């Protein structure tokens, strides 16, 4: 049997199901089973998907929500970044109450 350098894991389907569907399936599967970073311990491991949208780290045991096929979606990353910024601004406002007064 030949090597599947281009088709990757979707080579098991052969000529069935059409090339577009095989490419989509290959991309989704590689994201789902690939190495991701745990948000708690920051280790790069193949995190385990428990069920749709719920992910689990094998090392530290952390459980978090994410996308159906990815452990973190673009919208989730954006929300996390906004939450961190708002928390930082709130802590700065507590330390310097005079600097937050707008003229």
Q: Is 102 annotated as a binding residue?
A: no
> Taking a C-beta distance cutoff of 8 angstroms, is the pair 63, 54 a contact?
yes
The verdict on whether residue 60 carries a ligand-binding annotation is yes
Beta bridge partners of 48: 56
Tell me if 57 is assigned to a ligand binding site. yes
Query: In Å, how far are 46, 64, 67, 68, 91 from 10, measured between CA atoms?
Result: 20, 29, 22, 19, 50
In sequence order, the 6+-apart residues with CB closer than 8 A to the CB of 30 are 8, 9
What residues are designated binding site?
A: 38, 41, 57, 60
What residues are designated binding site for Zn(2+)?
A: 38, 41, 57, 60
């Amino acid at each position: 049997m030949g090597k599947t350098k281009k088709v990757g894991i979707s080579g098991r389907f052969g000529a069935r199901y059409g090339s577009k569907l095989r490419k989509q399936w290959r991309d989704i599967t590689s994201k789902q089973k690939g190495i991701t970073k745990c948000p708690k311990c920051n280790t790069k491991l193949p995190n385990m998907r428990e069920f749709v949208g719920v992910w689990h780290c094998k090392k530290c045991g952390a459980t978090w929500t994410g996308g159906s096929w990815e452990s973190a979606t673009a919208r989730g990353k954006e929300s996390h970044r906004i939450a961190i910024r708002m928390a930082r601004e709130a802590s700065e406002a507590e330390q310097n109450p005079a600097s937050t007064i707008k003229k």
